[in-house]
């Protein structure tokens, strides 16, 4: 410290002030970085938790608001992870390379970009975000970042507990639509605002793991830890999710492994806390009936069913086995590059009619085979699996290497393995909040880093452009989303419907919204000879991507009116084979059409509807009877 001649002598007070000022200046960047990283942690934690509170789950895009909320929060985090100016290389996790390779592979291998472009664009955005986040991760206080993440996960898991209790005690219908509920099972289908029992249970499991971590870190006292885990485990049991048993096994196995490979006190404390949580999860699964009985004694009647009671429901998930078998069959037919992103649904529907598989019909479209590995095999082939699935497994395995058994790594690995376990039976990673959390787990894995020679200016511009484009999509998308919700069903006024058609045709020009607009247009384009070729082209394109019942029915009518009898019958048989509960509706709708070109279609629909009614409406026997009037005989077994 140098004193210049100022006409007065430096006093002790002056020296102390100057030392404080200089120290503050030296520490300022450090404190700015801490604040910046805390904001980043909060934004990312909100991206994987806050969207699940959304009650805007309306047709035709029931998950758009939650996915877009996650996208907006990820976009807002981009300015916080831009590299510093002047750098000529970026150190990133090597896992970023397979993410980029997979995005490029999808872009090059997709045979029908019109239907897959939106998904590919979002994967490209996630690739940009992953590179920038991975590069910034070196400057993170890892423990502080994960502590903030765990804290917010626990808070929002407890919010979901409150929403689940509102459903459990029949309060949801009274809450003005702010709590999602199933109108047909308002007090037994417990799903929070997440909207699906297994996804709800997975998120509550994140909360249980986070509570174990925070207790080990001394941030959650034992009474609060036990109470929070008790409620989360109970609501996961009330959800009826069978996968809770798998989640408990994952958490228990990792806890034992961490105890065997113990390294420090906090890791041991977390493993012990997690084992306590596992015991509570198992106990509440087994005692759910007794708890319901105790609640009824005080006037609180519940009708939920635990995962244990549902364990062998629906033939222990036999429909999943059939879809897995279909996926393998598709892979065998298209081994290298698969059938293209998003094309499984159309091939699955076709195999339901012609494949000779065992019949366990359900009247909804399987857009996913309910297994991540088989889905990737079917849609992206062996090349896609090698590019992304194998690196993902290697990434998760890096957490169990020697010297990596920290409490933070246990938290991340538990969440990652729970998501992966769930992905072997459903498709949570097709929802952006789950995918974002899984990406965070993979990008924070203790992997070797690679130096990419790229100027920071290029990365900064790329990140800012991605941020602006994502926010622009959200703002523009809010308008389009509102339009599609309002226009989902035609109005009673012909002039207004004409105006709606013009708006939907305009929306079709936007590649990110074209597919959604196309499906809403289905409700407006009636089966008639007017503009027949144009309508045929429209419905045929949709049937190759998402063969929903209305798409197939109108396609069969249009083919009939165009004198393409074989194609007309095939489309109708596809509809009956995949949606047997709709058979009476198909029969009625065709009976209203007086054209003689549709006589054969009427006969097919009448036979299916009659068989369905005779064997029992809304019963497995009735569905099977309707399906077998059109489908190929059963000639093979499921592989599992």
- Render pLDDT for 417-471 as a digit per residue (tens, 0 to 9): 999 999 999 999 999 999 999 999 999 999 999 999 999 999 999 999 999 999 9
What is the per-residue pLDDT for 20? 43
Does residue 380 register a pLDDT over 90? yes
User: Token match 């750098």: residue?
Assistant: 87
Categorize the per-residue pLDDT at 305 as very low, low, confident or very high, splitting at 50, 70 and 90: confident
pLDDT surpassing 50 at residue 25: no
pLDDT for the residue numbered 94: 95
Band of the pLDDT at 6, cuts 50, 70, 90?
very low
DSSP state, 450?
E
For residue 315, count other CB atoms closer than 10 A to its CB.
Answer: 13
**Is residue 27 over pLDDT 80?**
no
pLDDT band with cut points at 50, 70 and 90 for residue 312 = low
Give 403 or 201, the one with higher predicted confidence.
201
The pLDDT of residue 151 is: 98
Residue 43 has pLDDT above 60, yes or no: yes
Q: What is the mean pLDDT of the chain?
A: 91
Kindly tell me if the per-residue pLDDT of 267 is higher than 90: yes
Mean local confidence (pLDDT), 298-306: 83
Non-local CB neighbours of 546 within 8 Å, separated by 6+ positions: 345, 346, 365, 367, 519
- Beta-carbon contacts of 566 under 8 Å, excluding residues fewer than 6 positions away, are none
At residue 104, does pLDDT exceed 50?
Answer: yes
Question: Which band of pLDDT confidence, cut at 50, 70 and 90, is reported for residue 22?
Answer: very low
Spatial distance between the Cα atoms of 442 and 201, rounded to a whole number of angstroms: 21
Residues 223-239: tens digit of each pLDDT: 999 999 999 999 999 99
Model confidence at 114, pLDDT cuts 50, 70, 90, reads confident
Q: CA-CA distance, 613 to 232, in Å (whole number)?
A: 43
Residue 504 has pLDDT above 90, yes or no: yes
pTM here is: 0.92
> Which has the minimum average pLDDT: 9-23, 44-58, 258-272?
9-23
Q: Which pair of tokens denotes residue 521?
A: 């247009």
| 119-135 average pLDDT score | 94
pLDDT of 615 strictly over 50: yes
**Least reliable range by pLDDT among 13-27, 91-105, 304-318:** 13-27
Q: β-strand 449-452 against 90-93: which pairing, if any?
A: antiparallel
The two three-digit tokens of residue 120, written as one number:
């590919």
604 membership: H or E segment, kind and range:
helix 599-614
* Contact predicate 357/638, CB 8 Å: yes
Average pLDDT over residues 325-343: 95
pLDDT of residue 403: 83
Distance CA 355, CA 330 (A): 11
H/E element, 449: strand 449-452
CB–CB of 260/268 below 8 Å? no
| Torsional sign, CA 419, 152, 266, 219 | negative
**Percentage of the residues of the chain whose pLDDT score is greater than 90:** 80
DSSP tag of 232: H
Q: From CA 621, how far away is CA 284, in angstroms rounded?
A: 35
Least confident of 201-205, 213-217, 418-422, 488-492: 488-492
pLDDT band at 351 (very low <50, low <70, confident <90, very high): very high
Whether 381 and 328 have beta carbons less than 8 Å apart is answered as: no
pLDDT on residue 108: 87
**Quick one: average pLDDT of 253-272?**
91
Is the pLDDT at 1 greater than 70, yes or no? no
Window from 28-32, 176-180, 592-596 with minimum mean pLDDT: 28-32
Q: Quick check: 394 pLDDT over 80?
A: yes
């Amino acid at each position: 410290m140098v004193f210049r001649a100022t006409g007065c002598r430096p006093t002790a007070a002056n020296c102390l002030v100057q030392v404080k000022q200089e120290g503050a200046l030296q520490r300022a960047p450090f404190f700015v970085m801490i604040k910046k990283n805390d904001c980043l942690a909060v934004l990312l934690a909100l991206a994987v938790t806050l969207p699940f509170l959304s009650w805007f789950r309306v047709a035709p895009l029931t998950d758009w608001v939650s996915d877009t909320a996650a996208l907006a929060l990820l976009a807002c985090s981009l300015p916080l992870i831009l590299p510093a100016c002047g750098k000529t290389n970026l150190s990133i996790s090597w896992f970023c390379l397979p993410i980029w390779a997979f995005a490029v592979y999808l872009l090059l291998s997709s045979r029908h970009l019109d239907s897959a472009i939106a998904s590919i664009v979002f994967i490209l955005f996630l690739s940009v975000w992953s590179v920038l986040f991975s590069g910034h991760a070196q400057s993170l206080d890892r423990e502080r970042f994960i502590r903030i993440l765990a804290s917010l996960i626990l808070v929002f898991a407890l919010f979901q507990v409150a929403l689940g209790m509102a459903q459990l005690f029949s309060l949801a219908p009274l809450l003005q639509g702010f709590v999602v509920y199933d109108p047909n099972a308002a007090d037994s289908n417990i799903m929070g605002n997440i909207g699906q029992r297994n996804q709800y249970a997975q998120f509550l499991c994140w909360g249980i793991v986070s509570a174990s971590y925070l207790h080990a870190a001394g941030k959650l006292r034992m009474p609060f830890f036990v109470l929070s885990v008790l409620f989360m485990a109970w609501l996961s049991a009330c959800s009826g999710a069978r996968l809770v048993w798998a989640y408990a096994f994952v958490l228990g196995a990792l806890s034992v492994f961490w105890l065997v490979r113990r390294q420090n006190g906090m890791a041991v404390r977390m493993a012990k806390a997690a084992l306590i949580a596992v015991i509570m999860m198992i106990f509440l699964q087994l005692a759910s009936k007794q708890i319901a009985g105790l609640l009824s004694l005080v006037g609180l009647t519940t009708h939920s069913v635990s995962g244990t009671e549902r364990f062998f429901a629906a033939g222990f998930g036999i429909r999943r086995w059939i879809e897995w078998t279909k996926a393998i069959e598709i892979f065998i037919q298209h081994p290298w590059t698969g059938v293209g992103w998003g094309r499984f649904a159309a091939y699955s529907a076709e195999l339901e009619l012609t494949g000779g598989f065992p019949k366990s019909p359900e009247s909804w479209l399987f857009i996913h085979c309910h297994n991540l590995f088989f889905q990737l095999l079917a849609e992206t082939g062996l090349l896609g699996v090698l590019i992304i699935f194998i690196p993902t497994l290697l990434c998760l395995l890096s957490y169990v290497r020697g010297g990596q058994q920290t409490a933070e790594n246990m938290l991340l690995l538990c969440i990652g393995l729970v998501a992966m376990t769930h992905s072997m039976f459903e498709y949570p990673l097709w929802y952006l909040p789950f995918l974002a959390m899984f990406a965070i787990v993979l990008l924070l894995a203790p992997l070797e880093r690679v130096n990419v020679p790229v100027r920071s200016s290029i990365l900064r511009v790329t990140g800012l452009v991605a941020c602006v484009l994502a926010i622009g999509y959200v703002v523009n998308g809010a308008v389009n989303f509102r339009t599609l919700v309002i226009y989902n069903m035609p109005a009673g006024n012909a002039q207004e419907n004409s105006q709606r058609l013009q708006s939907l045709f305009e929306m079709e020009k936007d590649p990110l919204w074209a597919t959604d607009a196309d499906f809403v247009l289905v409700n407006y384009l009636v089966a008639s000879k007017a503009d027949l070729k144009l309508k045929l082209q429209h419905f045929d394109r949709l049937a190759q991507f998402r063969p929903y019942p209305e798409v197939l029915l109108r396609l069969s009518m249009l083919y009939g009116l165009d004198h393409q009898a074989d194609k007309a019958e095939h489309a109708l048989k596809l509809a009956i084979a995949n949606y047997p509960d709709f058979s009476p509706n198909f029969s009625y709708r065709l009976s209203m059409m007086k054209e003689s070109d549709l006589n054969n279609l009427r006969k097919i629909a009448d036979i299916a509807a009659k068989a369905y009614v005779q064997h029992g409406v809304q019963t497995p026997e009735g569905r099977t009877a309707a399906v077998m009037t059109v489908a190929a005989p059963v000639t093979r077994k499921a592989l599992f």
